[in-house]
Amino acid sequence: MNRIAIFSFYNSSGIVEDYVLFLIKELNSVADIVYIVINGIISDDGLQILEKNADHIIVRDNAGFDAGAYKSVISSEKYIHEIENADRLILCNDTFFGPFVPFAQIFNKMPDHIDFWGMNYVGNCPFDHLQSYFLVMEKEAIHDTLVYFNNYVHESESDIREIYATLETGLFNYLCSMGHRWGSYVESEDIDIYKSGDLAIIKYGLPILKKKFFLEADSINNVKTALSYIRNRTNYNIYLVLDCIRHEYGVELKERDLSESETEYMTSDAVYMSHRNVSEEALSDFFKNENVYIYGEGIIARKVYNLYSHFNCFRGFVVTDNTKLNRRILYGLPVDEYDGRYDSKNVIVALNKNNTAELINQIGHKINWMYLW
């Protein structure tokens, strides 16, 4: 079996941390060929470490985030034949700790009838997708994945919102539209793995912990709960986490600060992603209108455009204040400032739940507008 993994590496100082080395070694256990793409700088010692654990090393400018790193391999004439003939393609970045369960065990659990999968699935929040920090394409889905990357992913994209729109929601929906069957390692009920990472691993068995959890967790108790569980219930070396979060996030925790019982700090409150309250059928009917405007220009607005642009109905974007924007054109359409002219137009409000409520409070509820929440 010809199994290929592409690993996206980034460290602002060019240092290969121990948690990254562990992750790469785990990738080697389930891949026959490992590409490591270095976004930005790498120290001499770091390069030596990576070279010992990879079949190919690509050093490139820090552009395009992980999507750009993947495309630098996928679109390369040097590597494309090898990728096209793979039986499995793994796309993995370095934004998480783990796996707390060996990759070999995870792969063995996944059913044979699916064409692509990830660790966790987010449904209807507001759009379906597999979170993209770890994606696996089986042979049946590799060709269409390459087509999607070549047509829709830009190697030098500098806007992270565009990456979320294309690599997560866009790729997922494209592969589904091509008839591919998807799967998820855990059934996480759309828990927010950034705010409730502790409950994601304890309640749902998510075998990774996102690094961003240490920035967004509701309290230090959530952090202690997660780390206590990892230390008590898994074979993962807790110092791989403690060392990283100390110098990267300034979180000063020692093993003695953790509990022998992970439930000591646990709260019963989990944060879940917000579900939209409008059906796919209602959205499709709305986009049958000849002229539709998108309110917003952030992640959700870009997802709306990418998912529904085939209706050929979008005429522009609307924002509250366009003087704060770096660009006045998005996807070739104007980004205009809201005024009363738009009250009677067909507008989809592509903001998050809180910002939607704030907008309604400011300008009122419009009859012709479509609200996701």
| Mean pLDDT score across all residues of the chain | 93
Fold match between domain 3-186 and domain 280-371: no
Q: Which pLDDT value is given to residue 274?
A: 82
Whole-number percent of the chain with pLDDT over 90:
82
In a 10 Å sphere around its CB, with 0-12 CB exposed, 13-18 middle and 19+ buried, how is residue 88 labelled?
buried
Q: Is CATH 3.40.50.20 the right assignment for the domain spanning 280-371?
A: yes
User: Can you tell me the mean pLDDT for 53-66?
Assistant: 96
Q: Which pLDDT value is given to residue 268?
A: 58
What's 166's DSSP letter?
I
Among candidates 115, 127, 128, 99, which has minimal Cα distance to 181?
115
Domain spans, the chain: 3-186, 197-264, 280-371
Residue appearing with tokens 């780390």: 227
Among candidates 313, 337, 334, 314, which has minimal Cα distance to 324?
337
Amino acid in position 22: F
Task: Decide: 154 and 64 in contact? Cβ < 8 Å.
Answer: yes
Among candidates 291, 286, 220, 307, which has minimal Cα distance to 257?
220
User: Can you tell me the mean pLDDT for 284-290?
Assistant: 95
Q: Which pLDDT value is given to residue 153?
A: 93
Amino acid in position 191: I
Both tokens assigned to 194: 């950034």
What's 273's DSSP letter?
P
CA distance 132 to 23: 16
Query: Of the given ranges (64-73, 252-261, 263-272), which has the lowest mean pLDDT?
Result: 263-272
CA distance 212 to 197: 9
Residue appearing with tokens 């403690």: 242
User: Can you tell me the mean pLDDT for 84-111?
Assistant: 98
The per-residue pLDDT for range 317-345, each reduced to its tens digit, is 999 987 777 668 999 999 999 999 999 99
CA dihedral over 101, 105, 107, 110, signed as positive or negative: negative
The per-residue pLDDT for range 71-93, each reduced to its tens digit, is 999 999 999 999 999 999 999 99
Q: Which pLDDT value is given to residue 318?
A: 96
Q: Phi-psi category of 37—alpha, beta or left, where left has phi over 0 and alpha has psi -120 to 50?
A: beta
CA distance 150 to 355: 34
Task: Decide: 317 and 293 in contact? Cβ < 8 Å.
Answer: yes
pTM score of the predicted model: 0.93
User: Can you tell me the mean pLDDT for 96-114?
Assistant: 97
b/e for 42-56, b at 16 or more Cβ within 10 A?
beeebbebbeebbeb
Q: Is CATH 3.90.550.50 the right assignment for the domain spanning 3-186?
A: yes
Is-cis flag, bond preceding 334, omega within 30?
Answer: no
Q: What are residue 137's DSSP bridge partners? A: 89, 116
Residue appearing with tokens 């996807």: 331
